Chain A
Amino acid sequence: MAGLPLSRRARLTGAGDTPFGEIRGSSVLGLHSRAARAALADAGLAKGDVDGVLCAYSLVEPHLMLSSVVAEYLGIRPAYSLGMMLGGATGCAMVMQAAMLVESGRCRHVLVVAGDNRLTGMSRDVAVAALARVGHPQFEVPYGPNIPAYYGLVASRYLHEYGATPEQLACISVTMRQHAALHPGAHMRAPITVADVLASRMIARPLHLLDCCLVSDGACAVVVSAADASTGTRDSRVALLGAGQGHTHEHVSQAPSLTDFGCRQAASRALGEAGVTPADVDVAEIYDSFTITLLIELESMGFFPKGEAGPAIAGGALALGGALPTNTHGGLLSFGHSGAAGGLTHVVEAVRQLRGEADARQVPDARLAFVHGDGGVLSAHCSLVLARV
């Protein structure tokens, strides 16, 4: 929370995940359990230490009260429990919520967990149809947009105004795949080229299949601890220095702009609270549901001037060793995307980068990480600034 001294700021003390991709033999709750146990083990905590549980939602096993069901499944009886739904922003928003719970003194250790098995738990047609309902039931869905079409509309306007090219968008997919190749848990690791992206099937102009995120099974969890409770954990060095949200619309036909989004306000609030600027960021983990999503967010949030992210990305800016190493795990485009867990992969990767535990993907001496999630069609935004302290 704004104004808190570092000594009272929330710590991310545990991070855990399952591999992403095709994971057979596990229910949605089983995936939650695997990730939660991994995060608790990482923190050096027992489940009895957890007094807050935050969950998201599942398309495959929908529950009215998923956080209660997950806590029951894990055998945790928390003092605070909440299910949250902000689409792809849910992961970051849960971390923000957990931080408020521990910084207010309400909780000591909050378990944040999300997972789904959208690849093996439901048919692709059912998944596509379920996700397409993000549109307005009267004023959008009847016109037959698939999910990429909502982003194709955004991309059409951006390309019209700023002259980015499909080749520049394709460079994002290529970079994400290069990063995923260095992560043993990533869904897609085989190298791809710009030509591969442009030759892949057109889904919704100008977005090709390889401009679109994956549909994966997988789960992620983090433990957010009060600063004074974190001393007993395995590694308490990662602190949340700032968090912010921004919301301007839900339906793309109601968006006030198609080239500037609520991520601008979310990032400004988070960076301002942390007292840092985009230039201070060592590693970025930013929601990449489609190539255009990442391109527009990078500019809207101030990492590149308008119209300049495309050429910079083509020049390697987002790669390891580039000016702004981004989505070092491979992002939603190549590490994988499993509902609300997708946005949480970015948080887990940021924690590993800041601890120096990212192996071949490590950004040397990464001290400040920026994480961002968005839900809907660039509708709901949450930014986090994490630091090694």
Chain B
Amino acid sequence: MTEIGKPVPQPTPESQPYWDGCLRGELLYQRCAGCGRAQFYPRSACASCGGTALEWRRSEGRGTLHAVTVVYRPPSAAFRLDVPYAVALVDLDEGFRMMANVLSANPERVAIGDRVAVTFERRGEIALPQFQPCAPRDEDL
């Protein structure tokens, strides 16, 4: 999913450290020093307690699918060659949720509860976090 024309995120001052981390191959999230909550997406204050002492943490990049759909009708021509593709909400092990594609050879078999691991897709000047299914034996280790 790398051809020209797909939406490229435009970092804001609040999200720039996150996107910088992606370029290094690190999935970052914010943790509130006040209340301990993991926060995603990045904000200037904690949406839970309002505190502004936010630390950047590195996620191990592993999570479980909370919801998943498969797109058959692309939102724009840029995604036309990719259909069908899976769009999911991933619950990361550190306690935050994010949207991403699940890059699978069999998107129609991607299901709620599947374990996934982060990977990064280069798009323009951005590295976009994506997820791949975990091989079951990886999880058994």
Contacts and interface: CB of A to CB of B under 8 A. Distances in A.
Interface of A: 125, 128-129, 132, 136-149, 152-157, 160, 201-207, 252-254, 258
B75 A144 contact: yes
Given A157-B66, A201-B72, A203-B73, A145 B87 contact: yes
Contact of A253 (B15, B74, B85, B99): B99
Contact of B123 (A142, A148, A160): A142
Contact of B76 (A129, A156, A157, A160): A129
Nearest to B101: A143
The secondary structure that dominates the A interface is helix
B97 interface: yes
Contacts, number: 114
Interface in B60-101: 66-79, 82, 85, 87-89, 97-101
A154 B15 CA distance: 26
A138 B41 contact: yes
Nearest to A152: B69
Nearest to A207: B69
Contact of B72 (A154, A204, A252): A204
Contacts of B77: 125
Contacts of A129: 75-76
Contacts of A252: 89, 99
Contacts of A136: 41, 99
Contact of B99 (A128, A139, A207): A139
B101 A144 contact: yes
B77 to A, nearest CB: 8
Contacts of B13: none
A240 B6 CA distance: 47
A118 to B, nearest CB: 16
A26 to B, nearest CB: 28
B9 A145 contact: no
Contact of A138 (B11, B73, B101): B11
Interface of B: 1, 6-12, 15, 40-41, 66-79, 82, 85, 87-89, 97-101, 108, 112, 123, 128
A253 B89 contact: yes
Contacts of B75: 128-129, 132, 144-147, 149
Contact of B9 (A125, A137, A155, A207): A137
8 contacts: A138-B10, A139-B40, A140-B99, A142-B8, A153-B68, A202-B72, A253-B98, A254-B41
Contacts of A204: 69-73, 87
A204 B86 CA distance: 9
Contacts of B6: 142, 144
Contacts of B12: 138
Given A132-B76, A138-B41, A156 B112 contact: yes
B69 A205 contact: yes
Contacts of B15: 138
A206 B88 CA distance: 13
A133 B73 CA distance: 16
A261 to B, nearest CB: 14
B112 A146 contact: no
